[in-house]
Homo-oligomer: A and B are copies of this chain.
C-alpha cells in the first residue's frame, strides 16, 4: 500500500488541480492567481512550486486533467452503448449534451482554456487530443454506417458526417456558453439528429430514436420525452 506520505502527496496534488479548475470556472483564467489557488486548496504558497515547478505547469496539468475527465466520462458512457454504430453515435451526441458533461462549470473551463490556447502550447494540445480521440470514435461509427448503406461516395460521406456532427456539437456548446439560461438540450439534440436523419434516413430519425433495420425517411415531429 502507498504510505501515508505518498498518499497525502497525491491528495495535495489533486487539491491544487481542483482549486485551479474551480477558480477558472468561477473567476476566469485572468483572476486565477497563485494566491487564489492556494487559498482554495487550503495549502501553502510553496506547494505549487514543489509539486509542479511553477504556476504554468499547474495550469497545464489542470487542463489535461479536465480533458481526461471529459473523455473518460464519454468513454464510460460508450461502453454502456450497444455495438451498432447508430447507438454509439447517439450515445456520444446525447452524452456530450447531457447535464453531466455539458454544464456551466465545464463550459466555462473549456472556453477559458481555449481562449488562452493560442499561446500556451501545452493547453492547445489537450484540446487537440480530445478532438482527435472524439473524432476517431465518431468517424469509425460513420464509416460502418456508410459501408452498410453502400453509399456512393463512401469515404467522403463519412468524413462529412463526422465533421458536421462535431461542428454541430461545438456550436451547441457555444450556444450554452452564451445562453446558459435559455439553452434547451432536447432542441439541441433534435437539430443534430435532424442533420443525421437527412444524411442517413435509414439509420436515424428526426426524433432521435434509432431505427435499426428500416429505410423510411419521414418521421413524426413529436419528440418522445424520454431522456433528460
* Interface residues of A, Cβ cutoff 8 Å to B: 27-31, 108, 111-119, 124, 127-128, 131, 152-153, 156, 160, 163-164, 166-172, 174-175, 177-179, 187-188, 190-192, 194-195, 198-199, 221
**With a CB–CB cut-off of 8 A, which chain B residues contact A166?**
171, 175
CB–CB A111/B114 < 8 A: yes
- Please name 14 pairs of A and B residues whose Cβ atoms are closer than 8 Å in the assembled complex, sorted by A: A27-B119, A29-B116, A114-B114, A127-B178, A131-B178, A153-B221, A156-B221, A163-B188, A164-B168, A166-B171, A167-B174, A170-B174, A171-B171, A195-B195
How many chain copies?
2
Top 8 closest A-B pairs, CB basis? Answer: A115-B115, A167-B171, A198-B198, A170-B171, A171-B171, A28-B119, A170-B174, A164-B191
- Residue on B with the closest CB to A191? B164
Given contacts A28-B119, A30-B116, A114-B115, 8 further A-B contacts (CB under 8 A): A108-B118, A111-B111, A164-B168, A164-B194, A167-B191, A171-B171, A171-B174, A195-B198
